């Protein structure tokens, strides 16, 4: 029998490759050109983006590598074998809180931006709830189905962005990129955390690597995914600068949507920025679904007998409640900032602990053998 191999709940390398952009590209894509442009001169922001991407690729490699060393084992299993059970539970719980907050944050952001671009009258509570119900529907299904949906959405986003970049080319003024390398070193340093934060989310690989068919090869795919995100971010940023210019990029709330706004009269649609906005909603949706799924996965890893659908439903009120807490744009973006830092810290701490223990134990093992 020829095998493409499917329906066994395992995921392929290509899926892993698409998971990374699925989780990383979220609401950040709409805002990061602004924060970046406000601190740097001309188009110089791409340097920090590149460094951020490199950091992201490195952390992706480290996360995927350590997880692939324990093929088929869940995060809880291998952390408890490395770092004892209480620490494993503590880490799992921290990640659980983090993912729950991410779900709420993305939902709050969606409601906020929908108010801004799509409708003013509809109450954000209703938007939140409708969005969360669809997320819940996805989480209640098969995990593989989520990845299939994610694959489709990533392709859609990529195609849409390429179309956007191509259609925006005529309005691009390359002189706006100049002069280059005028930003001073301090500004780069100050901007770097922001860039790194734009790439948060790769920690999901801690949990998803156990699903891959060939763990050792998936590491490479994951890193390629991270590099693809870097390329994507840099392209979008350069386009924003070339079309809008540094100053207006720095002063627009959602530069990417404005970029779409510059592209007028394609076919019979007049203002296609809402259309693009809708496409970016799907990528945010994907991030939310993955975060939600991870939070459910953490619980089912610790309690293997728990019913997945039951847990997903139980989490909904909490998520909904947290998503209603931030009332305006600034609070939402503050929440995003907190989440970004929390995710980075947690990932780094986990990584450091795991690798130290792994090296320690590996040496011990070697000594024991010799």
Query: Does 342 interact with another protein (rule: CB under 8 A)?
Result: no
CB closer to another protein out of 121 and 366: 121
Whose CA is closest to 332, among 31, 108, 168?
Answer: 108
Give the x-and-dash track for 104-143 against another protein (CB under 8 A).
----------x---xx--x---xx--xx--x--xx-xxx-
Q: How far apart are CA 87 and CA 59, in angstroms?
A: 21
Q: How far apart are CA 343 and CA 345, in angstroms?
A: 6
Using CB under 8 A, which residues numbered 188 to 217 contact another protein?
Answer: none
Burial class of residue 14 in the structure, from the number of CB atoms within 10 Å of its CB (0-12 exposed, 13-18 middle, 19+ buried): middle
Using CB under 8 A, which residues numbered 252 to 271 contact another protein?
Answer: 265, 268-271
Query: Does 305 interact with another protein (rule: CB under 8 A)?
Result: no
* Residue 106 · residue 335 · CB < 8 Å: no
Q: Which of 73, 171, 235, 274 binds another protein (CB under 8 A)?
A: 274
Cβ neighbours around 174 below 10 Å, total: 10
| # binding residues, another protein (CB under 8 A) | 46
CB closer to another protein out of 9 and 170: 9
| Minimum distance, C-beta of residue 293 to another protein, in the bound complex (Å) | 12
* Residue 226 · residue 19 · CB < 8 Å: no
CB closer to another protein out of 166 and 309: 309
Query: Does 309 interact with another protein (rule: CB under 8 A)?
Result: yes
Rounded to 5 degrees, what angle do the CA atoms 339, 207, 303 make?
100
* Residue 237 · residue 49 · CB < 8 Å: yes
What residues make contact with another protein under the rule CB under 8 A?
1-9, 12, 14-15, 114, 118-119, 122, 126-127, 130-131, 134, 137-138, 140-142, 144-146, 148-149, 151-152, 265, 268-272, 274-275, 278, 281-282, 285, 309
């Amino acid at each position: 029998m020829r095998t493409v191999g499917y329906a066994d709940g395992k995921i392929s390398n290509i899926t892993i490759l698409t998971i990374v952009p699925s989780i990383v590209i979220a609401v950040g894509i709409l805002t990061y050109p602004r924060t970046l442009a406000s601190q740097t001169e001309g188009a110089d922001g791409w340097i920090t983006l590149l460094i951020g991407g490199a950091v992201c690729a490195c952390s992706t490699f480290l996360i995927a590598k350590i997880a692939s060393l324990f093929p088929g084992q869940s995060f809880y299993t291998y952390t408890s074998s490395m770092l004892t059970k209480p620490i494993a539970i503590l880490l799992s719980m921290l990640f659980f809180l983090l993912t729950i907050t991410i779900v709420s944050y993305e939902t709050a952001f969606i409601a906020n931006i929908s108010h801004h671009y799509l409708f003013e009258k509809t109450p954000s509570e209703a938007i939140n709830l409708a969005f969360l119900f669809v997320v819940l529907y996805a989480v209640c299904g098969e995990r593989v189905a989520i990845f299939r949906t994610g694959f489709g959405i990533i392709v859609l986003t990529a195609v849409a962005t390429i179309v956007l970049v191509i259609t925006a080319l005529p309005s691009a003024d390359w002189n706006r990129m100049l002069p280059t390398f005028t930003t001073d070193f301090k500004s780069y340093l100050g901007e770097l955390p922001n860039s790194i934060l734009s790439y948060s989310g790769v920690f999901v690989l801690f949990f998803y690597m156990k699903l891959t068919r060939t763990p050792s090869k998936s590491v490479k795919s994951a890193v390629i995914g991270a590099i693809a995100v870097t390329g994507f971010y840099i392209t979008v940023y350069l386009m924003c600068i070339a079309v809008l210019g540094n100053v207006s990029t720095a002063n627009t709330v959602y530069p990417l949507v404005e970029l779409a706004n510059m592209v007028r009269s394609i076919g019979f649609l007049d203002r296609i920025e809402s259309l693009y906005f809708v496409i970016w909603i799907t990528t945010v949706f994907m991030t939310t679904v993955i975060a939600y799924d991870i939070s459910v996965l953490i619980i089912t890893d610790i309690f293997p007998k728990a019913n997945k659908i039951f847990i997903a439903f139980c989490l909904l009120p909490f998520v909904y409640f947290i998503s209603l807490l931030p009332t305006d744009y600034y609070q939402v973006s503050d929440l995003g900032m907190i989440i970004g830092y929390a995710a980075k810290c947690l990932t780094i701490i986990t990584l450091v602990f795991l690798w130290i223990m792994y090296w320690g134990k590996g040496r011990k093992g070697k000594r024991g053998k010799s």
